[in-house]
Amino acid sequence: MMDIIGIDLGTTNSCAAVMEDSGKVKLIPYKGGEYTVPSIFAIDDKGNELVGNEAKRQWALNPKRTVYGAKRLIGREYSSHFVTKMHEYFTYDMVEGTEHNVLVAFGDRKLDLTEISSKILNKIRDVAQDYLQHPVSRAVVTVPAYFDDRQRQAVKQAGALVDLDVVRVINEPTAAAIAYGVGRNVNQKVAVYDLGGGTFDISVIEIRNRVYEVKATGGDVFLGGIDFDNAIIDHVVEEFQNKHGIDLKEDAIATQRIKDLAERTKCDLSSRAEAQFNIPFVTMTADGQPLDIDMVIPRSTVEQLTMHLIERTIEITGFVLKDAGIKPSDLDEVLLVGGMTRWPAVQKAVSVYFGRAPSKHVHPDEAVAIGAATFAWSLESDAVDQRITLLDVIPMAIGIEDADGKLHHIFERNAPVPNQKKVLFTTSYDDQAELAMRIYQGEQEQAKVNTLLGEFLFSGIRQGQSGEVRVDVVFDLSQEGILTMSAEDRDTHAQMTTSVKVVSSESNGEPPITVADT
Ligand code: AMP
């Protein structure tokens, strides 16, 4: 059996799959027949680290030291608006790390989100090893198509921290398309609509037998099941406030209990018209009388409260189809991925938009791990005719900050990967010895508003007058959408040394570069 597995590192749950000797991909069972490991990490009062179900079980009692949704924060800058917004969602304490990264404070102990993700990856690997009865040291890990370079790198680093070689990071929708197409000689254009716990992704993929070509991709990293849960939580809290004049949001344990039940209620409401929402002794009155939450929530109420979320997914779908240059009716199939696509209003909106019922060929929770394992196997396979080729794109433009603070695009959104661009720079002053540039990824005109990928510094530039020394910088985008750079003197071909440092986007100072040509 293979020692390489496919891992779907989810916001809420993660799961793994492996290609068996029989040629069938199998999901790796966790406990009691479940296939998913909750993507939750906690440190209890005694300092024990807990991952998965153990962490989930004590969540309500230990909300400040239980980390969920780590995937939403991995590879993000502390000062970014994403992280600022996440403070509203999460009950744990986030602080800024020295690399401007996000740390979670567990009392005196602080852990980086990459470390926390590594604990989750390690747990999945342990489960896989237990099942396979042999060591597992390599994996293909999936990420949302919308992840930028920095987030992809962080996932690879998370693997490295626990000696798990993440041989490839592939996009979740691509993995789902592989699960759909494998072994069936499919020649179709498909849309993969993926609404998971925290993120929404939509991709248009052309499948030509074993070639999966992404035509366009887009999404929203702030749109997922959590937002549906929050709509229910807000509704419950508001009703309670109206009835008893008490704001339950000020009580972390009450909020946690409501959150747990809100999610379960939402799942129940996928298959029934109304659900009971009861939490006994949720709080007390000023004179010590216990109070309960006791209400009925109709599905139609949740549909009304969350309609805008579904509309937003359809709006984004429209943009992505436009980027791909196709109409909804041009698609042969629509694949639904992610737990949230079980919600009937999601299925209905998708059916209406595309004018067809979604495919029944993929399992919304399993397709991504299965696709990852299939791809992992194809990387190792000796049979060349079994190889799967992925032609992917980057989700957002990558560029450098110019002298006006604008983003000068090197690669456009939806540029295919792997890719390479050579850009000619000239020195801006006499005897300039270094070339510094800040690289950002995003769609905003002002460079700083985008995600800073890093500051590259090329040193050892030949001495000369301003404008005289010409440096070719090669921007290399790997198949995984990860950027590396190199530079050489156009005239002498001398290579310059590079160093990359991830700096805060708050950093100032004009980059001393002139883009001469692209
Ligand atoms: P994923 O990230 O794909 O694991 O999706 C997890 C999200 O799907 C969570 O927000 C779950 O609450 C949600 N989910 C799972 N099952 C259902 C269901 N039956 N109905 C509605 N949402 C669900």
Q: Check: CATH 2.60.34.10 for 398-515?
A: yes
Q: How far apart are CA 146 and CA 149, in angstroms?
A: 10
Q: State in Å: Cα 339 to ligand 1 middle.
A: 3
Instruction: State which of 340, 346, 366, 370 you would mutate to test the pocket of ligand 1, scoring each by most atoms of that ligand within 8 A of its C-beta.
Output: 340
**Ligand 1 proximity of 11 Cβ (cutoff 6 Å):** yes
Instruction: State which of 7, 8, 11, 12 you would mutate to test the pocket of ligand 1, scoring each by most atoms of that ligand within 8 A of its C-beta.
Output: 12
Backbone angles phi, psi at 365, to 5 degrees: -95, -20
- Cis ω before 418 (30° cut-off from 0): yes
Token pair 């769609």: residue: 443
DSSP 324: H
**Ligand 1 proximity of 363 Cβ (cutoff 6 Å):** no
CATH fit for domain 225-304, picks 3.90.640.10, 3.40.50.280, 3.40.30.10, 3.10.20.310:
3.90.640.10
Ramachandran quadrant class, 151 (left: phi over 0; alpha: psi -120 to 50; beta: rest): alpha
Domain boundaries, the chain: 4-223+309-393, 225-304, 398-515
**Ligand 1 proximity of 369 Cβ (cutoff 6 Å):** no
Q: How far apart are CA 435 and CA 244, in angstroms?
A: 63
Q: How far apart are CA 145 and CA 501, in angstroms?
A: 24
Q: How far apart are CA 406 and CA 50, in angstroms?
A: 45
pLDDT along the chain (518 residues), means of 10: 87 92 90 88 94 92 89 88 82 88 91 95 96 95 89 94 96 95 92 91 94 92 91 97 95 90 97 98 93 97 98 97 94 94 97 95 92 94 80 91 93 92 92 90 93 85 91 89 87 78 39 43
Atom 8 of ligand 1, nearest CA residue: 339
- Contact between 452 and 99 under an 8 Å Cβ cutoff? The reply is no
Specify the pLDDT at position 511: 38
Q: Is 158 exposed, middle or buried (0-12, 13-18, 19+ CB in 10 A)?
A: buried
Q: State in Å: Cα 187 to ligand 1 middle.
A: 30
Q: State in Å: Cα 229 to ligand 1 middle.
A: 10
* Residues 6+ positions from 478 with CB-CB distance below 8 Å: 417, 418, 484
Specify the pLDDT at position 2: 65
Structure tokens at 331: 């698609």
Q: How far apart are CA 316 and CA 10, in angstroms?
A: 21
Q: How far apart are CA 116 and CA 118, in angstroms?
A: 5
Q: Which of 330, 259, 290, 275 is nearest to 56 (CA)?
A: 259
Other Cβ atoms less than 10 A from the Cβ of 120: the count is: 26
DSSP 71: G
Strand partners, 423: 473
Specify the pLDDT at position 411: 95
Structure tokens at 97: 């790390």
Cα dihedral value 246, 247, 252, 253, nearest 10: 40
Ligand 1 atom closest to Cα of 198?
2
Atom 3 of ligand 1, nearest CA residue: 338
pTM confidence score = 0.86
Instruction: State which of 267, 272, 297 you would mutate to test the pocket of ligand 1, scoring each by most atoms of that ligand within 8 A of its C-beta.
Output: 267
Ligand 1 atom closest to Cα of 13?
4
Structure tokens at 438: 């800040």
Kindly tell me the sign of the dihedral angle through the C-alpha atoms of 371, 373, 374, 375: positive
DSSP 259: H
Q: How far apart are CA 209 and CA 77, in angstroms?
A: 40
Q: Which residues are catalytic?
A: 8, 71, 172, 194
Strand ranges of the sheet holding 514-517, from the earlier edge strand across to the other edge: 407-411, 398-401, 434-441, 451-459, 495-501, 483-489, 470-477, 419-426, 514-517
Under CATH, which architecture does the 4-223+309-393 domain have?
Answer: 2-Layer Sandwich (3.30)
